[in-house]
Each structure stands twice: as C-alpha cells, then as structure tokens.
Structure 1
Amino acid sequence: MSDFSFKRHEKEIEKLIKRLDSSFYFYDLDKLESHLSYISNNKDEAIKLFFACKANPLSSILKLIRNLGIGVDVASLGELSQVVSSGVKASDIISTGPSKSRGYMSHLLRNEINCTVIESFYQLQWLEEVAKKEGVKARALLRVQLEWDNAEKSVLGGDEITAFGLDEKTWREIDLSQFPNVQVLGFHTFQWGNILEVSKLENIWDKACEKLKTLAAQMNLNLDIIDLGGGLGIPYQNQTTTIDFKDINAALVRLKEKHQLKTIWMELGRYAVGDCGFYMSQVIDRKNVRGRDILVLDGGINHIARPALTDQAFPCHVFKKENPTSTKEFHVHGPLCTALDKLGVFELPENTDYGDWLVFSQCGAYGFTEAMPFFLCHNLPAEVVSYKGDIMTPRVIKSSSDWLV
C-alpha cells in the first residue's frame, strides 16, 4: 500500500520544508479518495461502512468521507461537534466509546444521530430517560465483550478484560422490556486491532457472530444489525502484507449467508486513511553513544506517539536520498526528556546527518491526535493536505505562546 517515492509531490514538499521549517503532516487526499472509492465499489449492499473518527478527525478528511457516502463513528462530544460541523448527515453518524454521560446522551439525541452503542447498564438507563424526555425512540446497539478461548492480546484488549461493553452473562440478565423508549437493533463487538490476515479476521468474526446469535435468542432480541467494528490492518515497519477489500467483502458475504444476518456494520479506521498520510521531521542532531548511532529529531512522540504505545514503528526513509550506496542502523529519537521518546530503529543511508528530513509513512491514522503534544512546550506540527492540485494548510504550526496561559 505505502510507497516512499513522493515524486508526484516532491516539489511541493521541498517548498513546505523551506516555508514551515518545523515538523508537519502531509495528507494526499487524492490517494485517499481513490482508496475509499475502491472500497465502496467492492462492497455488498448489506454492509454499511463507517469511518472511525478517532483515526483522524481532520475536517478535510471528514468532508471527503462524507462526499463518498461513508458514515462516521464518533466517540466523544468533541468528535460529534467536528463531524456535525463537517456536514455529515445525522443518519450517517453512530456513537461508540466506553464513556457516555447523561449530558452527552442528550447531545446525541438532539443531533438525531443514527444509533448509540450502549456499553453499560447505566448508559442504557440514561438513554431511556433522555429518549423519554425528548419524546423519541432511541436506536441502540449493545456492546458485548466476548470471552475467547485464548489469552492473545491486542490494542483493543483481545481476551483481556477492558472497559468496553458488558459480558454476555450480564446482558442476558437485563430485561429490555423495561426500556420501551430504546429500540435495540443488535450488537456491537470489537476486540482485535490491526490484523493483516483475512482468514484470521473471518475466523474471529465467525465466532463472534455465532456467540451473538445465541445471545440474541436468549434475550428474545431481533438481530437486525451486527457491528463487527474494524480490525483491518495496514503494514507498518518490516511488514509487507496488505489487505484487498474485495477479500474482506467476500468474507463478510460468507458470514452474512452462513449466519443469516440482515446487516453488517464495519468501522474502518487505519485501513481507511492510514496510507494517505506522512509525517516529516528534521534531523537536529547525530551522535554515537557506546557504539550506537543515534538521530535526534525536531519532533517525536509529542507529534506521533504510536511507536511508544505499541512498540511498533512507522516505516521511515530519508527524503530525497534514494538508492543509497551504503546504509547503517540508526536509533531515531524525538526531542523530549524521556527515554520513551523513540520512533524506532531504521536502516537508513550511512550519510544521514543534521539537516536531513525523515519521512514516516502510514501516518494518516493515529497520528497527531494520538500524541502528547504539550510536554516540553515544543511546536505543534502543521497539517497540510493536497487535493486535486491544491496544497492547503488547515492547521498551521503552533508555538507554546499560542496555548500557554
């Protein structure tokens, strides 16, 4: 999926480097549009796609997704506000996330969003209260935290006990007839992230569907929708496997037929937008410490925290140093006063030095909004988008004087 050529944007990138002189994100929205159009054109009509706003809430991206008819999943009031202001229709918005207050429930219903994913008994009570007060029938899915027969973990918990949803036993004990103003349409389950094997995804989804069908029968619930979340992976450092959505669609169609499902919802995050984004940061220093070659950058986990959170690096290369005659291993660090600020270990041209710019790819998802931007008061990175020949900077670089009080 990812490439480092930058040939199409090389001149624009050079101009941005001179103009900004500080770390920035660059998003190729033409590439994003092509990718999402391919997904939409290879999707069964009974499969509804949503974009997980948490992956990248930039308004330019949200508007493009809106124009392609893909829904959006929000997980906070801030995301809801951003999505609504980007012109996404209420019927194309669903709400997930383990933390939903009474007040937030009111915002969701007043904005007439499509569906709320209920993650606790309190949330079910509050949605009933708010729906009754507003005089509406609230549409909802119940999030189920399934138990698996292995101890494998993922960023979403896997078989670990997490704050997401309730277990099957707890949901079975709840009498849904006590909530007449809530229309429960089915279930939501999502415990595995960034998987690159379609067969593994299908196996997980198959087991989930079987368990959820049984639970629906036990609760006397019409199973109109199963939301399988996402989990579709993209290749990071030292990975080459990619997923073709045609194969995902074929797997979902098989599951729909096998389990006689009406509708399947999918929430795409990194798989939707990861490949369109790049993070660029300048080498500020180079040194050798006890035999280890180290590069220190202008930006680090204050701009792009995923390597520290997952111990997996974004692919990296040096801008405009192609096909080097010799390379060596560099440990790449950011500017923060903590050993956690490390972006990875990379094989880079041996002459990489002060003043060079490193390019990290696959950064369209879980980039800046996942970072820890205010520690040490460094600049916040700009975000630049390219679309149909236009280069725009929706967010300029911010210095500490812009936000310190």
Structure 2
Amino acid sequence: MLDKNITKELKKLTKRIDSSFYFYDLDKLEDHLRYIVENKDESIKLYYACKANPLSSILKLIRNLGIGIDVASKGELTQVVASGVKSSDIISTGPSKSRGYIRTLLEHEINCVVVESIYQLKWLNEQASEMGIKARALLRVQLEWDSKEKSVLGGDDITAFGLDEKGWKSLDLSEYENVEVIGYHVFQWGNILSASKLEEIWDHTCARINKLAQDMGVRPQVIDLGGGLGIPYQNESERIDFKDINAALVRLKKKHKLEKIWMELGRYAVGECGLYLSQVIDRKNVRGQEILVLDGGINHIARAALTNQAFPCEVLEECESKQNQEFHVHGPLCTSLDKLGVFDLPKDCDYGNWLVFTQCGAYGFTESMPFFLCHNLPAEVVKYKGDIMIPRTIKTSADWIE
C-alpha cells in the first residue's frame, strides 16, 4: 500500500498532469543507497548500471553518494558526463562497441572498458596506442552453466555478452601492449531474490575465473560480478538485505583470495523508488473478462510484455466497493502485446480512476517503445527534500514527428 502522504501528493499531481507520468521518490532512494554504502566493505566498489534509469537527478544523487556509474552506450556516457560524474568513476559495458565509440571512451578518460570481443580488444589497443596511453580493461567472460533456469541476462543461453573461456585463452595478451587487463567481468543472472543463491552463483564464478586467469597468466586485481540483485515484484517478504550481500562478498573475497570485487547495481538500487501512474480510459466486459484500458501501456512501461511479469498495481483513489475482482489491464496500442497484467482491484474501479504501478524506478520508460501510435510521452516527476519537480513534462507527437 502507498504511504498516505505520497498518495496525497499523487492525487494533486493527477490534477496538474493530464496524461500518464512517472514519479520518483528520491528521499526514499537516498535512504536506501546510504544504507547500502554504510554497510559495504571497503574492498567492494559499487557502480550504478545507468541503463536501469538514466534520469539526471537520479545520476546526480548517486554521484554525490560516491557510487560509480556503468554506461553501455554513447548516449548514456553523454548523460552521465553532463550530470557531473567524474571520469574515474565511469566504466563501460555493453556488447556493441565500435572503434569510434572506444575512442570516445578513451578521450573521456573513463576508469575501465569492459572488453567483450577480440575486435574490441584490438580496437582498444589500437586507439590507446594512437593516443599514447595505456587503457585499463576487464575481459567479459560468458560461462557455461548447468542450469535450465532462464534469465533476462542470458543465464546458460548463448548471448552477445563477452567470450567463452576458450575464446579468451586463445589470445596472447602480450600482443596488446597498450591494454592493461586488470581483471574479469561475469554477469549472466538477473533479478535474483535470494542472497544464498547469489552467493552460490558468485562462488562458482570466482572459482572459474581464477582458473581462467591462471591459464592466461593474469593476476586479476578486480572481478566484476555485475549485479543480479532482485526486488520483490510480487512478495514483499523476499526483499534482500544488503548486509547479507556484503557478508557473502566478504566470504568469497577471502575464500578465493580476491583483491577487489566490483558490483553494478541496477534495479536493486533504484527500482523501489519509482511509480508509474496512468488513467483508466475505458472499462468493458469481453467474453466474461473485465477489461480496463489505460492512457498508457507498453509504450511507456514495456517490462510486463518483455518478461511476462507485471509490476504491482493498485487504484490511487479510494473506491466505495470493499470487494475486489480480477481485471485484465491493457494499454492504448493496437496490439495484443500491450497488456500490463491481471490484477485484483476494487469491483467499482472504472474510467477516470488512476492506477499506480509500483517498483517502477528501474527499467521503466527507457526500456519501452514510446513512438508506436504517436501517443504522448509520459512526464517524469521527482520528489526530493519535500519539493516536487517535473524535469520532463508531457511530450506530444508534435514534439518529435516532422
């Protein structure tokens, strides 16, 4: 259930904003991140995976707390630099790095480039040589797993992320004189809600990476375990305490004789600070199903269609009915893919009501398909230190279509 004070603010905002919008509680975010930072061992370096939410006000808050930023595109790099993040606090991941993009990363003097292919390693060495510098790099490794589980990051599927152990072992790193390989990066599992399961994955990862490093003659300063820490989209009791994560990482550091562990937190960092609000435009019964059609759908918030897992949902206003029933909630797009989930909502929920989707601080608008059918783009609203700000207002199709 939403906090009463937040509910009051949201009701006011629905009177000011006549279309769907995101709402980020940065006070809640700051408290959450401070708890993480205060309960982190000094040998663990945290980065924020910018892809989760690149809003500048979020980036600036994260910057101020001493957390680094992981960028996965030139656009994210531009946004992060514009938000005042120091070059030494930026690393670059992502399977698609052109020669030109690698040059841009080096020109910005970022901390480290995560190399995901032989071409990337060659281009990094080439560009660093031309610039007269030595570039720091992590080699991204795609491990084979004996698991039938699925993951948005691939799990055991073959993906575009990194190379397998055989691929990296085939190289002679001494040929890349302008690249300093400081360690390895492995990240194949996402949104896990068990600290013990994460420790099991990381334990296996560290053992395999230490063996690979030995075979390659590398003494790794860093193992980057990515993130993978989940947030509870359904069951609130499954929330992970970062103290348990820190304890697991400290145990692994000792067991595998590691110098530094890096982590790139995404949804775990920002997911729970965000809400998405959209108004009910229509209600109908089709072949026995109660259907609500909203102002916004996967054009604003596509995760439900991509992962088949809905964000939690409730009605903003207090309804008269104390009984709930099942509603199938759809967006405005002309495709059956535009479905946000099936929810138990008050029986008298109807057109004009606003629905609130929680846990939307990560993988919200920037993961969506905003231009299909030329509907409005959602506004983004920020609450911080008691102030309400609207860094992005509603944008209509006239703002981008020529």
Please tell me the TM-score bracket, short chain as reference. Answer: over 0.9
Give the paired residue count: 402
Contact 1:193 1:230 in 2 (8 A): yes
**2:121 maps to which of 116, 120, 124:** 124
Contact 1:73 1:267 in 2 (8 A): yes
Report the CA distance between 1:10 and its aligned residue.
Answer: 2.8
**1:37 maps to which of 34, 39, 42:** 34
Which whole-Å CA distance do the structure 2 matches of 1:243 and 1:262 have between them? 25
Unaligned ranges ≥5, structure 2:
none
Is 1:373 aligned to 2:360, yes or no? no
Contact 2:299 2:371 in 1 (8 A): yes
Report the CA distance between 1:322 and its aligned residue.
Answer: 7.1
Matches within 5 A, 1:6-405: 6-238=3-235, 240-321=237-318, 325-405=322-402
Report the CA distance between 1:152 and its aligned residue.
Answer: 2.0
What amino acid is aligned across from residue 255 of structure 1 in structure 2? L
Contact 1:97 1:164 in 2 (8 A): yes
TM-score, L = length of structure 1: 0.98
Which whole-Å CA distance do the structure 1 matches of 2:159 and 2:255 have between them? 30
Which whole-Å CA distance do the structure 2 matches of 1:382 and 1:157 have between them? 32
What amino acid is aligned across from residue 341 of structure 2 in structure 1? G
Contact 1:237 1:312 in 2 (8 A): no
Which whole-Å CA distance do the structure 2 matches of 1:355 and 1:153 have between them? 39
Report the CA distance between 1:320 and its aligned residue.
Answer: 2.7
Which whole-Å CA distance do the structure 2 matches of 1:138 and 1:323 have between them? 63
Which whole-Å CA distance do the structure 1 matches of 2:295 and 2:3 have between them? 21
SS at match of 1:78: helix
Contact 2:319 2:349 in 1 (8 A): no
Contact 2:317 2:353 in 1 (8 A): no
Report the CA distance between 1:238 and its aligned residue.
Answer: 5.0
After superposition, the CA RMSD in angstroms is 1.0
Which whole-Å CA distance do the structure 2 matches of 1:147 and 1:371 have between them? 30
Runs of 4+ residues deviating >3 angstroms: 237-240
CA 1:34 to 1:179, structure 2 compared with 1: closer, same or farther past 3 Å? same
CA 1:324 to 1:176, structure 2 compared with 1: closer, same or farther past 3 Å? farther
Contact 1:24 1:281 in 2 (8 A): yes
Which whole-Å CA distance do the structure 2 matches of 1:187 and 1:14 have between them? 48
CA 1:121 to 1:172, structure 2 compared with 1: closer, same or farther past 3 Å? same
Contact 1:151 1:160 in 2 (8 A): no
Note the alpha carbon deviations across 1:379-402, whole angstroms, 9 max, x for none. 000000000011111111000000
Contact 1:295 1:330 in 2 (8 A): yes
Percent same amino acid among aligned pairs? 73
Report the CA distance between 1:9 and its aligned residue.
Answer: 2.4
What amino acid is aligned across from residue 120 of structure 1 in structure 2? S
What amino acid is aligned across from residue 181 of structure 1 in structure 2? N
Report the CA distance between 1:323 and its aligned residue.
Answer: 9.4
What amino acid is aligned across from residue 247 of structure 1 in structure 2? D
What amino acid is aligned across from residue 393 of structure 1 in structure 2? I
SS at match of 1:384: strand
Please say which of residues 231-240 and 216-225 is displaced more in the overlay: 231-240
Which whole-Å CA distance do the structure 2 matches of 1:239 and 1:375 have between them? 34
SS at match of 2:213: helix
